[in-house]
Amino acid sequence: MEGSIVQMGAYIGAGLACMGMGGAAVGVGNVAGNFLSGALRNPSAAAGQTATLFIGIAFAEALGIFSF
């Protein structure tokens, strides 16, 4: 009985970690999509914002890594 409770807790923890990784994937998609939308509206400003894009993607991915 005790081993099954521990195993159930491990499965719940793994599911919660997967939800955190899914949230990070949604965050990266939002960052990249909004950058692409802005770059298509104003192509001359896109070159100056690529560093901000990579910083935003890095922060979103870091949250996913920390959730795991």
Q: How many domains does the chain have?
A: 1
- 13-53 tens-digit pLDDT: 988 888 888 888 888 889 899 999 989 998 888 888 888 88
The per-residue pLDDT for 66 is 82
CA quadruple 49, 55, 57, 59: dihedral sign: negative
The span from the first CA to the last CA of the chain, in angstroms, equals 27
Which backbone phi and psi does 36 adopt, to 5 degrees? -65, -40
Structural domain harbouring 53: 2-67
The whole-model pTM stands at 0.70
Residue type, 43: P
Mean pLDDT of the 5-10 span: 92
Is the pLDDT at 62 greater than 90? The verdict is no
Is the pLDDT at 1 greater than 70? The verdict is no
CATH number at residue 52: 1.20.20.10
